[in-house]
Amino acid sequence: MKYVKLFFSIIVILLLSGCLSVPIYNAIWETDSDGFTRYFTNDPERLNRTFWLLVDNINEENTFQIESKKMSGAANMGFGMVFGAPSASNSTFYLLTIATTGSYRIAKRLNNEVITIRDWSRTEFLYTGFNTINTLKVIKAETTYTVFLNGNQVYQFVDANISGNRLGFWVSIGRADVESFPGVPVDVRFRQVR
């Protein structure tokens, strides 16, 4: 154990002294070996921004469901599921985000503005920590949306502003004082489930 600590101490000293550099990775969406869609970056140009990727929904109409886990990055920065998007090129949708600290938030993106439906709320139904899979699910019945986290209903709302069956993945990246770029990248994984 003391050799592991010594090794990491040497790496940190080399990084801080400029003798060792960390490669910068622009924003990358790719598929990992476990079938998760991975978002990865340590590029300081990506700080204080949000990114999303819309995909075809594999579930029946009006059912949206993914598994998601955060491997690294700021623990309190949200990641999760985009749902209800009318088309692949549309930036109008609903948003269910979680944090590794056990909180969730529901919002909608309408006319390039994010409007909160339910502000960040702690719940016992989210698994906390890094590399921990959480299942996010939303079922729509007409204009009523029922939100589930790991199979437990946590919220329900009514809204008729957005109507579509596309879903996607969302990543929020913090400011420089929140993230630790380039040494610690933002690495988040997503996978649709039935």
Is it the case that residue 15 has pLDDT exceeding 70? no
CA separation for the pair 78, 98 (Å, rounded): 5
* 49 vs 9, residue with greater confidence: 49
Given a contact cutoff of 8 angstroms between Cβ atoms, the answer to whether 72 and 184 are in contact is yes
Looking at the domain assignment, is residue 15 inside a domain? no
- Tell me whether residue 3 is in a domain: no
3-state SS, residue 11: helix
- Mean pLDDT, rounded, of the chain: 90
Greatest C-alpha distance within the chain: 60
Instruction: Indicate if the pLDDT at residue 6 is higher than 70.
Output: no
Q: How large a percentage of the chain has pLDDT more than 90?
A: 80
Contact status, residue 84 vs residue 166, Cβ threshold 8 Å: yes
- Show the tokens assigned to 67: 């598994």
**Can you give the pLDDT at residue 104?**
98
Distance from C-alpha of 37 to C-alpha of 31, rounded to nearest angstrom: 4
Model confidence pLDDT, tens digit, residues 84-135: 999 877 789 999 999 999 999 999 999 889 999 999 999 999 999 999 999 9
Supply the range of the domain harboring residue 44. 23-192
Predicted pLDDT at 2: 54
Whether 16 is in a domain gets the answer: no
Average the pLDDT over 69-87 and give the result: 96
Q: Alpha carbon 61 to chain centroid distance?
A: 23
The secondary element (H helix, E strand) that includes residue 9 is helix 2-17
Give the separation between CA 172 and CA 41, rounded to whole angstroms. 11
% of the chain exceeding 70 in pLDDT: 89
Stated pTM of the model: 0.87
Mean pLDDT of 8-34: 65
> What is the domain-level CATH number for residue 129?
2.60.120.560
**Number of domains, the chain:** 1
pLDDT in tens, 27-58: 789 999 999 999 999 999 999 999 999 999 99
- Report the run of H or E that residue 159 belongs to, with start and end: none
CB atoms within 10 A of CB 57: 20
